[in-house]
Amino acid sequence: MSRRNLLIAVGVAGFLVFAVALVPARIIGAVLPAGPITISDTSGTLWSGTARSVRVAGFELQDVSWDVHVLSLLIGRLSLSIDGKWGAGFVRGDIATGIGGALRVRDLRVAGPLAPVLRLMNMRGSGGELSIDIAELDIEDQWPTRVVGTVGVGRLPFSMLGIPGGSMGNYGLEFDIPEVAEDGVIPGTLMDKGGPLEVVGELRLTPPQDYGIQARLKARPDAPPELTQGLMLAGPKLPDGSHEFEMTGSL
């Protein structure tokens, strides 16, 4: 490319970036097609704006703000930082998408109620807390190709296992998959972080949107009697006193 054409290209790119910076944020709601994402009560600009409410696949975020990373536009990528409220919790992180539709998420932090996620997985339970700490997540063709991070649940309700009572304690799910295998299967390690129920197992995500849980559950000595009795329904008792637990479903 000649020096003259290069200067013209830089000038055009600069003009487009400047123009985007002045476009009001309310244009987003007008151009979004009807579908899984709705946005309302926007202010600011496409460059840096806010929205009172953003609904994504059944989840609602409030008081959402965003800032577009300028240089990403010059290489054909939309990259932005977001910050919002989810119930009494929050969502914040960096999200980028390119012309091909691939999605890249970095440093995502989420804290909020567990119940909406349980409903998404067709699981019982109305209580509990959710925390997500994703260092890296890449998605292509609507399926992850890289997953590195952790998911934590606190005050997990006994009702998930069909057992009356209060909280089972805190548990974690860890993904360390810098490159997902060709079959698309994504394994995650299940573990407990104390509480009356000992958990060791694995969660496997399988294309297109299936999941499976295989774990061993064991009541600790200080567990309430209802838990010990309820575990008899979870699966056969093994020689070490644990019970096998399996669950499958679709997202």
pLDDT band at 214 (very low <50, low <70, confident <90, very high): very high
**Chain centroid to CA 6: how far?**
41
Between the alpha carbon of residue 117 and those of residues 29, 151, 183, the distances in Å are 26, 12, 25
**What global pTM score does this model have?**
0.79
Task: Give 61's strand partners.
Answer: 54
Are 214 and 248 in contact by the 8 Å Cβ rule? The answer is: no
pLDDT 10s digits, 18-73: 555 555 555 555 544 455 577 888 888 777 888 898 887 677 889 999 898 877 77
Looking at residue 82, its pLDDT comes to: 92
Indicate if the pLDDT at residue 78 is higher than 70: yes
Q: How many helices (H) and strands (E) does the chain have?
A: 5, 13
Looking at residue 86, its pLDDT comes to: 87
Please state, rounded to an integer, the average pLDDT across all residues of the chain: 81
Indicate if the pLDDT at residue 185 is higher than 50: yes
Tokens 């999200």 map to which residue? 95
